[in-house]
C-alpha cells in the first residue's frame, strides 16, 4: 500500500459553508457516507484511493470572474484532464443540490449514473436524501469491523466464493495458464475499430502481468483478479474528449473484466456486420479448442463478474449485444436464452438513456457521442431482426426511440485524437449525415439498416397490433417511403448485380450490400402480405418480390466458396432460412395454383420453369444445413418444398391436372409444415388442414 500523505494538524474536520461537515470528493461522487477522517477517510483507505481523498467542498468559492478564468486556464493546460476526475463543476452540482434539498444534503452523482433522468428524478432525490442521512448519523457504521478495515472495498477476497472461482477459471483459459484456450500473437493488427485497439492493449497488459506474476501460480491469478475487480468497480465515463482517453479506462493499469470479455468477442469475430469480416490477427484459438459455444460461455462468465461491480456502461451493453447474437447462432432466434440476453441489452440501453440521445443542430461529433449513437441503433436494429423472424412483440418501439442516426464517419476517423480532423470530417458531410465521397463502412451500413428497421417497426405495429382494421393508405404510405429510401441510397451501399469478385469488388462489400437489399425486399414482402390480408391487390407484386428474394440468396450462396470467410458462411445459413425459405412458400403456391401460363406477362424473367429451378436448388441448399439451431425448421421447409415439386412434376408427367381451388386440398402426404410463428411470415400456412 502506498505511503499515506503526511497529516496536517487540524482541530476539527472541514466544514461546508452551511456548517455541516464536508465529505471527501470520492465519497461525495459515489454517494456514500464519509467519516470525515484526516488526512484520509476510512473508505478511501479501504479502496486504495489515498491520493484522491480530498476535501474540496469546504474551500471558499472564488468569484464568478475567478472561476471563469480558472476554467479557461484548465482548458488550455495540457495534461490536466483526468479520466477519473470527480471535481469537475463541483460548484454547479453543489448549487443544484442545495436548490433541491435547501440544506446541502446532496452528493455528486457518479459517472456511471445515466445522464438522462426523466421519469426517475423522484427516486434520485430519495437516494440523495438517504445518503445525506447516512452522512449525518451513520458515518461510522462499518469502521469498527476489523476484517473490512484491512480489505479494500470491492476486493476480490470479499466476493462470493462461486464468483471468485469463476474469476480464476476465466483467467486460467488465458495464454500461459493451465487451461489455455487462446493464443496471443505479436502481429501488427490494423486499427479496425476501438475493439481491436483495446484488444491489443489488453494483450500487452496481460503479457506484462504474466511476466511479473507468472512464478506465483494461483496466487498470481488472485493478484490479477484483484486488480481487475478493483478497476471494474470504477465508473466508466461516457463523455471523454477523445477516443484514447476513453480507451484508457479499459487498458494498461486500468484493465477491467470488460477488457477480458472483449478477448472472446474478438476471437470469434462477434462484432458489427462490417468489422466482423475483417482479418483479425491478434488472437487465435489453441488448436482443437476453439468454438463459438466456448467463447459464448466465457463471455457469459465475464459478464456475470462485471455485473457484480456495475449496473451498466457502454462496453457492457455491447457485450450483451454480442452474446445475444452468439446465442441466436447456437440455440436459435426463438430460444429463451437469446431473448433473455437481448432483453437485458434493451433494458440497459434505456437505463443508460441511449433511446433518447439529444439531437442538436449545432452537434459536433466526438468518439463517445458517436459510439453511443451506434450502440443505440444496434439495439433497435437487433430488435427488429428478431421480431421479423419470430413474430414476438418488439421490445423497443420507434415511438419511444428518438436518438439520431450516427454520422457517416469511418472508424479510423473516429479514433483520431485530433479534434480538428473530426471537425473537417463533419464539415464534408451533407445535410443528411452522409459522406458524398465516402465508401462502405460500419456507420454507412448501420445507417441504412436502421432506416429500414424504422419502417419495419411501423409494419410490425400494424401486423401485431390489436387494431381490428388497418387503413390501406397507411400501408401504402409505408411502401412509398420504403421505395424512396432505397432509390435515394448512396452508391456505397446500393445493391448492384454487377458487384462481383470478378469485377474487382471485395466480398465484404458484396455481402453487406446483399444483406441491405434483402432487408429492403423483406419490408416490401411484409407490406404486400399485409395488403393481401386486407384484400387489397391493386398495388404490389408479392410473386416478384418472393422470386427476387430467393434468386438473390441463391446467387450469393452459389458463390460462397469464393468467399473464404467462415463468418460469412456461418451467417449465410441464417440468410437461406430467413429470406429464401420465407419466400419459397409463395413460389410453391404459384406452382400448385398458377396465376399465369408460361412466362409472366409483366416480368419476362419469371416463368414456371425458373421457379421450379430455383426451388430445386433451394432444396439442395437446405439439405446441407445441419447441426445448427434452426436445422429442424430448415428440414421442415425442405421437405415441404420437395413434396410440392414431386406433386407438380409427377402430375405433369402423367398429364394430370387436379381441379382444386385450395392447395390444402392436395394430397401432399404427411409432413410437418414449417412454422415461422408470424401470420404474415407464415407462407406455408396453406398446407395445414385448417387452411381456408
Q: Which of 314, 347, 380 is a domain's end point? A: 347
Rounded Cα gap, residues 237 and 234, in angstroms: 9
Q: Could you tell me if 170 and 301 are in contact, meaning their C-beta atoms sit under 8 angstroms apart?
A: yes
The reply to whether 242 and 273 lie within a common domain is yes
The reply to whether 332 and 264 lie within a common domain is yes
Rounded Cα gap, residues 233 and 312, in angstroms: 11
Predicted confidence at residue 482, as pLDDT, reads 97
- On the CB side of 604, how many CA atoms lie within 13 Å of its CA? 0
* CA distance readout (Å), 549 to 178, 517, 561, 673: 49, 9, 20, 21
How much is the CA Rg of the chain, to the nearest whole Å? 30
Q: Could you tell me if 549 and 582 are in contact, meaning their C-beta atoms sit under 8 angstroms apart?
A: yes
The reply to whether 650 and 618 lie within a common domain is yes
Domain assignment present for residue 623? The answer is yes
Q: Could you tell me if 411 and 346 are in contact, meaning their C-beta atoms sit under 8 angstroms apart?
A: no
Domain assignment present for residue 528? The answer is no
> What is the separation of C-alpha 356 from the centre of its chain, rounded to a whole number of angstroms?
16
Q: Which of 347, 365, 387 is a domain's end point? A: 347
355: number of Cβ within 10 Å: 19
List the one residue out of 205, 227, 240, 206 whose CA is nearest residue 313: 240
Cβ-based neighbours of 630, under 8 Å, separated by 6 or more: 332, 333, 573, 574, 577
Q: SS3 letters for 241-258?
A: CCHHHHHHHHCHHHCCHH
Predicted confidence at residue 240, as pLDDT, reads 93
The reply to whether 222 and 255 lie within a common domain is yes
Q: Could you tell me if 430 and 408 are in contact, meaning their C-beta atoms sit under 8 angstroms apart?
A: no
Cβ-based neighbours of 498, under 8 Å, separated by 6 or more: none
The reply to whether 137 and 192 lie within a common domain is no
Exposure of 134 by Cβ count < 10 A (0-12 exposed, 13-18 middle, 19+ buried)? middle
Alpha helices per DSSP H over 566-670: 566-575, 582-592, 608-623, 631-653
Bond from prior residue into 460 cis (ω within 30 degrees of 0)? no
Q: Could you tell me if 401 and 373 are in contact, meaning their C-beta atoms sit under 8 angstroms apart?
A: no
> What is the separation of C-alpha 399 from the centre of its chain, rounded to a whole number of angstroms?
20
* CA distance readout (Å), 34 to 28, 138, 291: 8, 9, 48
The reply to whether 123 and 167 lie within a common domain is no
Rounded Cα gap, residues 435 and 162, in angstroms: 51
The reply to whether 192 and 334 lie within a common domain is yes
Exposure of 674 by Cβ count < 10 A (0-12 exposed, 13-18 middle, 19+ buried)? buried
Q: Which of 107, 128, 150 is a domain's end point? A: 150
The reply to whether 206 and 324 lie within a common domain is yes
Cell numbers 440521445: residue: 357
Domain assignment present for residue 606? The answer is yes
List the one residue out of 120, 405, 112 whose CA is nearest residue 238: 112
CATH number at residue 126: 4.10.240.10
Q: What is the pTM of this model?
A: 0.76
Name the residue range of residue 136's domain. Answer: 1-63+92-150
Domain assignment present for residue 601? The answer is yes
Angle between helices 161-172 and 292-307 (to 10 degrees): 140
Predicted confidence at residue 21, as pLDDT, reads 76
Rounded Cα gap, residues 603 and 297, in angstroms: 50
Domain assignment present for residue 427? The answer is no
Predicted confidence at residue 508, as pLDDT, reads 82
Residue 235 β-bridge partners: none
Reported as a single tens digit per residue, the pLDDT across 638-676 is 888 998 898 888 877 665 555 554 555 555 554 555 555
Which portions of the chain are predicted below pLDDT 70? 1-20, 31, 57-154, 187-191, 214-215, 217-218, 274-279, 560-572, 653-692
Predicted confidence at residue 595, as pLDDT, reads 86
Predicted confidence at residue 414, as pLDDT, reads 93
Predicted confidence at residue 465, as pLDDT, reads 82
Domain assignment present for residue 24? The answer is yes
The reply to whether 137 and 247 lie within a common domain is no
> DSSP readout, 345-403?
HHHHHHHTTGGG----TT----HHHHHHHHHHHHHHHHHHHHHHHH-PPPSS-GGG--P
Total count of domains within the chain: 3
The reply to whether 39 and 120 lie within a common domain is yes
Reported as a single tens digit per residue, the pLDDT across 559-617 is 766 555 556 666 667 788 788 888 998 999 898 888 888 888 888 899 999 999 999 99
List the one residue out of 337, 324, 343, 431 whose CA is nearest residue 393: 343
* CA distance readout (Å), 683 to 99, 100, 586, 589: 61, 59, 6, 9
> How open is the CA angle 84-86-88, to the nearest 5 degrees?
115
The reply to whether 44 and 162 lie within a common domain is no
Q: Could you tell me if 48 and 41 are in contact, meaning their C-beta atoms sit under 8 angstroms apart?
A: no
Predicted confidence at residue 680, as pLDDT, reads 59
Reported as a single tens digit per residue, the pLDDT across 358-373 is 988 889 999 999 999 9
List the one residue out of 356, 358, 369 whose CA is nearest residue 399: 356
Domain assignment present for residue 592? The answer is yes
Domain assignment present for residue 317? The answer is yes
The dihedral formed by the CA atoms of 488, 680, 670 and 667, expressed in degrees to the nearest 10: -90
The reply to whether 113 and 168 lie within a common domain is no
Amino acid at each position: 500500500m502506498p505511503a499515506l500523505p503526511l497529516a496536517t494538524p487540524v482541530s476539527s474536520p472541514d466544514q461546508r459553508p452551511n456548517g455541516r461537515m464536508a465529505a471527501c470528493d470520492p465519497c461525495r461522487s459515489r454517494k456514500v457516507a464519509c467519516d470525515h477522517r484526516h488526512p484520509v477517510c476510512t473508505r478511501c483507505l479501504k479502496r486504495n484511493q489515498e491520493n484522491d481523498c480530498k476535501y474540496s467542498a469546504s474551500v471558499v468559492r472564488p468569484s464568478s470572474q475567478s472561476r471563469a478564468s480558472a476554467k479557461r486556464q484548465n482548458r488550455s493546460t495540457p495534461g490536466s484532464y483526468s479520466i477519473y476526475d470527480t471535481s469537475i463543476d463541483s460548484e454547479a452540482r453543489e448549487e443544484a443540490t442545495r436548490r433541491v434539498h435547501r440544506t446541502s444534503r446532496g452528493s455528486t452523482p457518479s459517472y456511471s449514473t445515466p445522464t438522462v433522468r426523466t421519469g426517475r428524478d423522484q427516486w434520485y432525490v430519495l437516494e440523495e436524501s438517504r445518503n445525506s442521512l447516512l452522512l449525518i448519523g451513520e458515518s461510522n457504521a462499518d469502521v469498527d469491523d476489523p476484517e473490512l478495515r484491512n480489505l479494500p472495498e470491492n476486493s476480490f477476497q470479499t466476493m462470493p466464493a462461486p464468483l471468485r472461482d469463476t474469476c480464476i477459471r476465466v483467467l486460467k483459459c488465458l495464454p500461459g495458464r493451465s487451461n489455455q484456450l487462446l493464443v496471443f500473437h505479436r502481429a501488427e493488427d490494423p486499427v479496425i475499430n476501438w475493439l481491436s485497439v483495446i484488444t491489443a492493449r489488453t494483450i500487452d497488459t496481460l503479457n506484462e502481468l504474466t511476466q511479473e506474476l507468472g512464478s506465483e501460480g494461483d496466487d498470481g491469478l488472485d493478484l490479477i483478479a484483484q486488480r481487475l475487480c478493483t478497476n471494474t468497480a470504477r465508473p466508466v465515463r461516457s463523455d471523454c474528449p477523445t477516443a484514447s482517453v476513453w480507451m484508457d479506462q479499459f487498458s494498461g493499469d486500468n484493465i477491467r473484466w470488460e477488457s477480458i470479455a472483449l478477448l472472446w468477442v474478438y476471437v470469434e469475430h462477434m462484432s458489427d456486420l462490417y468489422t466482423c469480416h475483417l482479418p483479425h490477427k491478434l488472437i487465435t484459438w489453441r488448436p482443437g479448442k476453439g468454438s463459438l459455444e466456448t467463447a459464448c460461455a466465457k463471455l457469459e462468465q465475464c459478464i456475470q463478474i462485471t455485473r457484480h461491480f456495475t449496473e451498466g456502461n457502454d462496453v457492457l451493453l455491447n457485450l450483451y449485444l454480442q452474446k445475444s447474437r452468439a446465442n441466436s447462432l447456437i440455440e436459435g432466434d426463438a430460444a429463451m436464452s437469446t431473448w433473455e440476453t437481448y432483453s437485458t441489452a434493451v433494458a440497459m440501453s434505456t437505463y443508460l438513456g441511449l433511446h433518447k440521445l439529444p439531437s442538436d443542430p449545432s452537434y459536433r461529433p466526438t468518439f463517445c457521442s458517436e459510439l453511443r449513437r451506434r450502440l443505440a441503433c444496434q439495439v433497435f436494429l437487433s430488435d427488429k431482426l428478431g421480431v421479423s423472424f419470430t413474430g414476438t412483440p418488439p421490445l423497443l418501439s420507434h415511438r419511444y426511440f428518438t436518438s439520431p442516426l450516427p454520422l457517416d464517419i469511418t472508424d479510423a476517423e473516429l479514433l483520431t485524437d485530433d479534434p480538428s480532423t473530426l471537425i473537417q470530417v463533419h464539415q464534408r458531410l451533407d445535410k443528411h449525415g452522409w459522406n458524398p465521397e465516402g465508401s462502405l463502412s460500419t456507420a454507412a451500413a448501420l445507417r441504412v439498416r436502421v432506416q429500414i428497421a424504422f419502417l419495419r417497426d411501423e409494419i410490425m405495429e400494424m401486423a401485431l397490433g390489436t387494431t381490428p382494421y388497418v387503413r390501406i393508405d397507411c400501408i401504402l404510405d409505408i411502401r412509398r417511403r420504403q421505395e424512396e429510401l432505397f432509390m435515394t441510397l448512396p452508391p456505397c451501399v446500393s445493391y448492384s448485380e454487377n458487384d462481383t469478385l470478378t469485377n474487382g469488388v471485395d466480398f465484404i462489400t458484396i455481402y453487406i450490400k446483399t444483406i441491405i437489399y434483402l432487408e429492403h425486399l423483406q419490408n416490401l414482402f411484409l407490406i404486400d402480405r399485409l395488403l393481401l390480408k386486407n384484400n387489397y391487390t391493386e398495388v404490389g407484386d408479392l410473386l416478384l418480390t418472393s422470386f427476387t428474394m430467393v434468386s438473390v440468396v441463391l446467387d450469393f450462396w452459389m458463390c460462397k466458396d469464393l468467399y473464404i470467410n467462415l463468418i460469412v458462411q456461418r451467417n449465410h445459413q441464417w440468410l437461406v432460412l430467413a429470406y429464401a425459405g420465407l419466400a419459397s412458400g409463395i413460389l410453391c403456391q404459384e406452382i400448385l395454383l398458377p396465376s399465369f401460363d408460361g412466362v409472366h406477362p409483366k416480368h419476362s424473367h419469371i416463368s414456371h420453369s425458373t421457379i421450379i429451378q430455383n426451388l430445386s436448388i433451394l432444396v439442395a441448399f437446405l439439405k446441407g444445413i445441419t447441426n445448427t439451431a434452426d436445422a429442424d425448421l430448415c428440414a421442415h421447409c425442405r421437405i415441404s418444398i420437395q413434396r410440392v415439386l414431386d406433386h407438380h412434376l409427377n402430375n405433369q408427367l402423367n398429364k394430370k391436372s387436379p381441379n382444386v381451388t385450395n392447395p390444402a386440398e392436395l394430397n401432399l402426404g404427411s409432413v410437418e409444415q414449417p412454422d415461422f410463428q408470424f401470420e404474415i411470415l407464415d407462407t406455408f400456412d396453406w398446407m395445414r388442414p385448417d387452411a381456408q
